[in-house]
Amino acid sequence: CVRAASESDWRPRPDEQEEWSPGDHRWPVEKRLTTQLLSRYAQWGIVGRPVVNSSDVMTVRLGLALIQILDLEENKQMLRTNCWLRFTWRDNLLSWENWTEPEFRAIRQIRVAPSQIWTPDIKLYNFADERTMEIREARVVVDRSGEVLWIPQALLKTTCQVTIMHFPFDTQLCCIRFGSWTYDERQLLLDWSMTDLRLNDTYSIQKLLPFVDFSDYVESNEWETDGESEMDVADPDDRIMQIRSGVTYRHEPAHDWLGRPVQKKFRLLEYRIRMMRNPSFYVAILVVPCILLSMLTLVVFCLPPEAPAKMLLGEELLSSPIVL
């Protein structure tokens, strides 16, 4: 009886003294492919942008999925959110679809650490956190054509200009700005992520998504957002309630190769979140008691001037709003 070899047979036994190289055919195909790609990438890929010519523009797409609104600190004007970031770009040095080895053609995707390849230097511009890093570590998924998908988790703490004139019936508009820190738009073009819009069981098209993604949003007890009611709207053009995000620019003075002064433009994506406060809690503990106390003030005028209860009731009504 002959046992068929399985993929676990590549592991060396403790009594084996020989060392296996990454190109050894006893290694799994996925391991050999990943090792060969990263070995080549260590020489050419990490240094500089992964482009063929220096004049090429690198396109990086960014999407923002809001998972939860953790807190809005009105006194400090800071918003804390739990988000997922979605980065996509094309890296030709990580493509193996044109390789001649037949065993590699069956591998469609590999996973690598972001520190092993080039990643865009997209930063949070309205950063308001004492931590040095807001993004959690996550693996990068690489397709056979060189398409890179990176979805790290992030706990963001951003600045937000708060207006409390109409508290507790107020509406706040907070923005989360992302952009490249060192590459201007002539080197790196930051654009919206794409969403798949299925037409039927066979065909689908892709459209830009200039909105915050609420697909996995956990509803807040204090805040209602304009994107909650349109979670199931697949086509971005059909979204009416949700506010559309926008594009802004950062300008930096520089000089060209002839020494002439120029302006560098850095493209920023500004994701906008409109939040309406749920006033139920504040109406129950603040608005309704104040209305009742105001109505009791009229009782003071109904009491005769010589009644001792008139002075006591007036003092109680005066001190009650302070306690509230």
Read off the pLDDT of residues 56-94 as tens digits, 9 standing for 90 and up. 999 999 999 999 999 999 999 999 999 999 999 999 889
Model confidence at 322: pLDDT above 70: no
220 token code pair = 């807040």
The verdict on 183 and 270 lying in the same domain is: yes
* 192: in domain: yes
Cβ contact 254:264 at 8 Å? yes
* 298: in domain: yes
The verdict on 170 and 202 lying in the same domain is: yes
Q: How far is CA 297 from CA 288, 301, 304, 320, in A?
A: 15, 8, 14, 11
Instruction: Please name the residue ranges forming H helices in the chain.
Output: 29-44, 280-282, 288-302, 308-323
**Which residue range is the domain that position 287 belongs to?**
282-323
The verdict on 179 and 246 lying in the same domain is: yes
- In DSSP notation, 41-70 reads HHHHTSSS-S-SSTTPPEEEEEEEEEEEEE
* 138: in domain: no
Give, in degrees to the nearest 5, the angle at Cα 39 between 36 and 42.
Answer: 145
* pTM, 2 dp: 0.81
* 135: in domain: no
The verdict on 175 and 313 lying in the same domain is: no
Pairing of strands 223-225, 246-255: unpaired
Q: How many domains does one find in the chain?
A: 2
The verdict on 224 and 269 lying in the same domain is: yes
CATH number at residue 194: 2.70.170.10
Helix, strand and coil content of the chain, in percent to the nearest 5, comes to 25, 35, 45
Burial of 72 (0-12, 13-18, 19+ CB in 10 A): buried
Half-sphere exposure of 242 (CA within 13 A, CB side): 25
The verdict on 305 and 214 lying in the same domain is: no
CB atoms within 10 A of CB 316: 12
The verdict on 178 and 246 lying in the same domain is: yes
* 1: in domain: no
The verdict on 294 and 175 lying in the same domain is: no
pLDDT tens per residue, range 284-314: 887 887 787 777 777 777 777 777 777 777 7
| Whole-number pLDDT of residue 243 | 94
